[in-house]
Every structure is written in C-alpha cells, then in structure tokens.
Amino acid sequence: MDLSLIGSAALAGFVYGITPGPGVLAVLGIGAASGRRAGAAFLIGHLAGDVLWCGLALVAIIGVTTIGSFVFDVLGTVSGLYLFWLGWRAVRVKRSSDGRLEIPVHRPLLHGLTFGITNPKAYPVAVATLTALLSAKAGMLTWGMLPALLVASCLGGVLAYAILVAIIGASAVRRTYRRYEVAITRASGLMFMGFALNALYHAVPGLFVPKRA
C-alpha cells in the first residue's frame, strides 16, 4: 500500500470536513447557540453521512479507474471544473443584507445524521475532492485499497471535526468567525481552486493521448 495514497485520502477527508460549507456553517451555529457538546453530537451524526458519501465516491473513482485511465481522466476533468466553480463562487461571496436567524436544535445527533445523509452537495464534493487528490496516482488504485482509503478519509474527517469541536465553544472564535466569515469563505474558495487546478493538471493531458490500437 502506497502511503502517499493513504495520506492523500486522509487529506481529502480533512479538507472535506474542515472547509466552510453547509455542515460547517450548521455546526458553528449550533455551537454558538448550545455549546461544544451539542456541536460534537451534531458532527457525530454527520459523520455517518460522510462515511456513506466518501465510500460511494471511492467506489466510483476506483470503478472508473479499473475501466480505464481515459474514463478517470474525464472524471478528473469534470471534478476539477466542478471544484473550480465551487471555489469561484466562494471567492465571489458577499454578505447578505438579511440578518441570520438562529433556530435552536433540540436533537443535534439526529439532526446531524439527517443533515449528513441528505446533504445534496456531499457526494459531488466528495468525488471532486478525492479525485483531485488521488489523480496523480490513479493507476495504482485497486479494489483492495478501498477499505484503507475509506478509513483514511474518515480519519481525516474526524481530525477536522475534532478541530471544529475544539473551537466552536470559544466565544472569541465565534466572534472572529462571524466578523471574518466572508474572508474565510473566500480563502476556502482559493483552496478549492488550487485543488481544481491540480486535478486538471493531471487529468487534461490524458484526454489527448492517442489510444493504442
């Protein structure tokens, strides 16, 4: 097992879990309203959705890789463009003129479970992030690696969630996040665009390699 593949899967899980998105914004709101324990319960429930979507994403990635590198290059190109689009939207984000309404969550564990499984952006983002970071060694991916890659990506996500739990209970962090929310989102957008360019760098050349007879 190539340790760089494990590291890339773990990094993908970390990026997937830590970057601002619906789940991160939700846990920040829950933490601000109810504290670390409620935020941790939400993330424990949300982790079930992460395992589901990352598992399906890895199945798709390894599946197209075993079919042929050209299919993986197509997936890598599409994923790179999708990540770039997400990053571009984040870079151009603006603060809404409407105030936010914090709605108390009475069952954060159940809410996190439902939120994680039903999040419509979870699967494409998981596919795009994992593809971007695994594309450099696509030819090494096999079905036998699936369990280790899934565990690695989940451990990366757990580390991201541990960091979130550690910070959401601090009032200074909450105030800072709210104050610089736009800047943080834009910085995350730049990171997504960087992963997108990495995916395109490895995938696009393969689309123009002549097929062997």
Token readout for 96 is 């809404």
C-alpha to C-alpha distance for 172 and 190, rounded to whole angstroms = 25
For the chain, the domain total comes to 1
153, 154, 155, 158 alpha-carbon torsion, rounded to 10° = 130
Which domain range does residue 170 map to?
3-96+106-205
State the pTM of this model: 0.70
Tell me, yes or no, whether 25 lies in a domain.
Answer: yes
Cα three-residue angle 146-39-13, rounded to 5 degrees = 20
- Kindly state the average pLDDT of the residues 34-39: 82
Tell me, yes or no, whether 212 lies in a domain.
Answer: no
Closest by CA position to 52, among listed 62, 42, 60, 40:
60
Token readout for 209 is 């390699």
Which residue type does 45 have? G
For residue 172, pLDDT beyond 50: yes
Tell me, yes or no, whether 115 lies in a domain.
Answer: yes
What 3-state class would DSSP assign to 63? helix
Tell me, yes or no, whether 35 lies in a domain.
Answer: yes
Give the model confidence (pLDDT) of 38-83 as tens digits.
889 989 998 888 888 888 888 888 887 776 667 767 877 887 787 7
| CB-based contact 148:154 (threshold 8 Å) | no
- Kindly state the average pLDDT of the residues 82-104: 68
Poorest-confidence range of 82-96, 127-141, 169-183? 169-183
- Kindly state the average pLDDT of the residues 99-110: 59
Give the model confidence (pLDDT) of 121-149 as tens digits.
677 778 888 888 887 777 788 888 899 99
| CB-based contact 86:78 (threshold 8 Å) | no
